[in-house]
Amino acid sequence: MTLEKVYSSASQWLQDIRPALRNRISTHFGSMPPRNEAWSRIAQEGPQWTWWLLAILPLDPKAQLAILSMSSLQRRLDSIYKVLKHLRSVTRREASSSATSSNR
């Protein structure tokens, strides 16, 4: 998975979540860091926004620790992307279900 694709997916998920939740995340953790960072830092640790995402994603502590402990940036990106993909499908289902029930 590429940095661009994961960042884009994360940005979209943040837009899709309820505004109240997005505001709580922003108040507590600040805004998502920009993707423009020095390449030397990215090569060593991964971009700052990946660590920010791991702090805000609703993960089981064991799953979060497993991803945090990965030394491979590519493996972390793949894992984060899978989590985001799952969360976006859940968010869409909830939005669809809410729209359906409000139309009744």
26's tokens: 């922003």
What is the rounded (10 degree) CA torsion for 72, 50, 81, 96? 170
- Domain of 66 in residue numbering reads as 3-102
Q: What is the mean pLDDT of residues 9-27?
A: 95
Q: What is the pLDDT of residue 94?
A: 77
- pTM here? 0.82
Structural domains of the chain, count: 1
Q: What is the pLDDT of residue 40?
A: 52
4's tokens: 């661009």
Residue located via tokens 């939740």: 21
Cβ distance 80 to 53 under 8 Å? yes
Q: What is the pLDDT of residue 93?
A: 77
Half-sphere CA count of 62, side-chain side, radius 13 A: 0
Residue located via tokens 């945090």: 68
Q: What is the pLDDT of residue 81?
A: 97
- 29-86 pLDDT, tens per residue? 999 998 876 655 566 678 889 999 999 999 999 999 999 999 999 999 999 999 999 9
